[in-house]
Homo-oligomer: A and B are copies of this chain.
Amino acid sequence: MSEADPSTPKERRLAPPTISRLSEYLIILEELGESGREVVSSRDLAALYGNNASQVRQDLCCLGHTGRVGQGYRVRELERMIRATLGIDTIKKMVLVGCGRLGTTLAVHVPMAHYGMELVGAFDVSPQMIGTRLGPVRVQSAQNIRDFCAKHGVELAVLTVPKTAAQDVSDALVAGGVRGILNYTRVRLRVPAGVAVKNRQIVCSFLQLFHATTSQPA
């Protein structure tokens, strides 16, 4: 461990655009794999993603060598490499805070278990909600957030609470040791360095679509 592992390929940090493309490549590869496809070229993958072969190869060469010159990439192997690169071959515990409509939908809709995430807890303040089942877990009081996360070693959280509660919940999560928050609220959270926040205001996707159909008529 004291020296750089020679088997590790590049180990330079991946560019942010590359990371977001990798997760989309993964989805495409899973679809290809399910349809029985065994090999895919950078050209094919680019056609599916909507970019170009050069970019695909550039993105993929950070993963360690998986392609066969003259042949392309083996779908399953590439899938595994991307999973490893994203880290999702290791399971991380996740909690959901805010079990309203959006929160419950995300919990049900996203196949977390398939992507290295284990939903171990769900929290809400509503007495009607507390105690009900949500997928694999039972909803508990938001007062437990900090202790629960600390006790179970929770690393990730999804935040779908009303904006008035967002910062307090965030503080509780961070105090409990959570290191990544997927923030669906309108609030810009203040978190200490070392905690990752991804803001995903759904309405922004709608606005971007709107603009895309506004700017150039064709």
Q: A-side interface residues toward B, CB under 8 Å?
A: 13-14, 19-20, 23-24, 26-28, 31, 48-50, 85-88, 90, 92, 101-102, 105-106, 108-112, 115-117, 155-156, 158, 179-182, 186-188, 193-194, 196, 198-218
Closest B residue, CB atoms, query A114 = B203
Chain B: CB-nearest residue to A217 = B194
Q: Which of B28, B196, B210 contacts A88 (CB 8 A)?
A: B210
Find chain B residues with CB under 8 A from A106 CB. 202
The answer to whether residues A213 and B27 also contact, given A19-B208, A206-B112, A218-B194 and a CB cut-off of 8 A, is no
CB distance from A86 to the nearest CB of B (A): 5
Contact B115 A23 (CB under 8 A): no
* A116 → chain B closest CB, angstroms: 6
A199-B24 contact in complex given A180-B213, A210-B86, A210-B117, C-beta closer than 8 Å: yes
